[in-house]
Amino acid sequence: MPLVHKLLSWYNLNQRDLPWRRNPDPYKTLVSEIMLQQTRVEAVLPPYERFMQRFPSIKDLAFATQDEVLTFWQGLGYYSRARRLHQAAQIIMTEHDGLIPSDKNTLQALPGIGDYTCGAILSIAFHQPEVAMDGNLLRVGARLFLIRDPINRTKAKTAIKTGFESTVPVERPGDFNQALMDLGSSICLPKHPRCGECPLSDHCQAYVQGEAMLLPIKDAPKPPVPVQVQLYLVESDKTILFRQRLAGGFLQGMWELPWYETDTLQVAEEYGWISVPLESGSREKVYEMEYIFSHRHWFMTIFHYKVVEPFYTPQDENTLYRWQPLHSVDTIALPTVFKKVLELVQNSLSG
């Protein structure tokens, strides 16, 4: 039996029941596939349900504020994806009459639609014979086609994609991609592939050669760059000062506790950059904490200040500031690092 038939027969019996697979449409596919970039299925499920309840159509998403979109993206991280999805929705409304494009070039021109997402949308939502190369397909492909080059390099990616392109069936291209994703996450596992249960073992060159456990090969990722950060937790009357930087930079568009990387500090004054009369209050405590992002390793010094009247909000044309009551902090889009900071200092917070 050809590989495709074995794969799809296995998928018929073993496919995961996922909310975006029920009555699929292009919008569900767009949202779910962007959420699935760099994020595991299990982590996507709760935020996806909440997001679709609040933004059930491309129109609802396009007309929402960025703030609200980011708030409903909480739990997924990599917030730039949410900003780009929001921008894409707005372009789809204004330039494509609210219809997600089914043409490859038009689709790829939208913000946030890379090769993988484009292949997923075209194959799943529009039944076009495209390959959606995610991490699962890369791993399964490296083993099936015995690719010994590191899979994070273009040469290996191209070889694997070419292999799948010559295999993807015109009848069920979306199921083909999703079957490979499911196979990768349940059978062709990264460290211990369960070849004895695999429907493709007869076709798998790595298995036949006894190299399944040795592949794929990957270049070691670069370690996150260590960065010294000073962070200010400014509290007044049971509210906390947050800021949102509107233009460029790391964590752009997110609400955050004011911070700066000490290497880039330009001003001599200790806290002149924040423009808050910290001297009107008292410094409660200083904490140390580490947090690792994908590319940065923050070594934070956290200054907890309690300030008193005047209740002052700093002004800056590129930055918004707001005082948020402690009890409602979870209603704003706050990256995990700042939630951890709040947890760390919670015992010395007022109220």
Residues carrying an active site annotation: 33
What one-character DSSP code corresponds to residue 316? B
Best CA proximity match to 86, nearest among 127, 7, 154, 30: 30
Is 167 one of the binding residues for ligand SF4 (CB under 6 A)? no
Is residue 151 within 8 Å of residue 216, measured between CB atoms? yes
Q: How far is the CB of 33 from ligand SF4 (least distance, A)?
A: 23
What one-character DSSP code corresponds to residue 197? G
Cα R_g (the chain), whole angstroms:
24
Is 164 one of the binding residues for ligand SF4 (CB under 6 A)? no
Of 91-99, 137-145, 174-182, 238-246, the window that binds ligand SF4 (rule: CB under 6 A) is 137-145
Tell me how many residues contact ligand SF4 (CB under 6 A).
Answer: 15
Give 189 or 286: the residue with its C-beta nearer to ligand SF4: 189
Q: How far is the CB of 57 from ligand SF4 (least distance, A)?
A: 38
Find the binding residues for ligand SF4 in span 90-119 (CB under 6 A): none
Q: Within 10 A of 294 (CB to CB), how many other CB atoms are there?
A: 10
Give 118 or 147: the residue with its C-beta nearer to ligand SF4: 147
Give 178 or 201: the residue with its C-beta nearer to ligand SF4: 201
Is 140 one of the binding residues for ligand SF4 (CB under 6 A)? yes
Q: Which one-letter amino acid corresponds to residue 78?
A: Y
Distance CA 4, CA 218 (A): 27
Q: Which two tokens stand for residue 125?
A: 């939502």
Give 210 or 223: the residue with its C-beta nearer to ligand SF4: 210
- Interface residue with ligand SF4, options 35, 58, 200, 274 (CB under 6 A): 200
Distance CA 264, CA 143 (A): 45
Of 37-45, 158-166, 196-204, 276-284, the window that binds ligand SF4 (rule: CB under 6 A) is 196-204
Is 178 one of the binding residues for ligand SF4 (CB under 6 A)? no
User: 75 in helix, strand or coil?
Assistant: coil
Pairing state between β 225-236 and 239-245? antiparallel
Q: How far is the CB of 190 from ligand SF4 (least distance, A)?
A: 10
Find the binding residues for ligand SF4 in span 201-240 (CB under 6 A): 201, 204, 206-207, 212
Is 344 one of the binding residues for ligand SF4 (CB under 6 A)? no
Q: How far is the CB of 199 from ligand SF4 (least distance, A)?
A: 8
Give 68 or 211: the residue with its C-beta nearer to ligand SF4: 211
Of 3-11, 81-89, 109-117, 193-201, the window that binds ligand SF4 (rule: CB under 6 A) is 193-201
Residues that bind ligand SF4 (CB under 6 A): 140, 143-144, 187-188, 193-195, 198, 200-201, 204, 206-207, 212
